[in-house]
Amino acid sequence: MDKIFMNKMEFYGYHGAFAEENKLGQRFYVDVELEADLSKAAASDDLAESVDYAEVYETVKSVVEGPPFNLVEAIVQAVLNKIFQAFSIVERATVKVIKPDPPIPGHYDSVAVEMTRERG
């Protein structure tokens, strides 16, 4: 299976289990790996036979900058659901959502959740 990667897309959302996170918001980074048969696109050089990266970005943005979730896990699943709804060519997808500077005492980098799902 062929793959398309989109890495470190940056968004601002209001997700988290704490009221402050829902009020103040924060940055989120998203990595997406899409698996599809890209042979027709490669042969035809036609975007209609592939996945439009701008549309993927807007799809992810609609979730991450949309209504709040308590858990990063729920954000990831919602992104996966939207990807499969929007792009029929995608057979398998991996989505990783990175939450930098989580409100965890003594924790200074990030937390992340990654899930892989297949069209089913």
- How does pLDDT run across 37-51, given as a tens digit for each residue? 999 999 999 999 999
* pTM for the structure as a whole: 0.95
Cβ proximity of 115 and 71 under 8 Å: no
- What is the chain's mean pLDDT, rounded? 96
107 pLDDT higher than 80? no
Active site residue 82: no
Domains plus CATH for the chain?
A: 2-118 (3.30.1130.10)
Interatomic CA distance for residues 116 and 103, integer angstroms: 26
Interatomic CA distance for residues 60 and 4, integer angstroms: 15
- How does pLDDT run across 65-91, given as a tens digit for each residue? 999 999 999 999 999 999 999 999 999
- How does pLDDT run across 51-72, given as a tens digit for each residue? 999 999 999 999 999 999 999 9
Catalytic member of 8, 23, 61, 99: 99
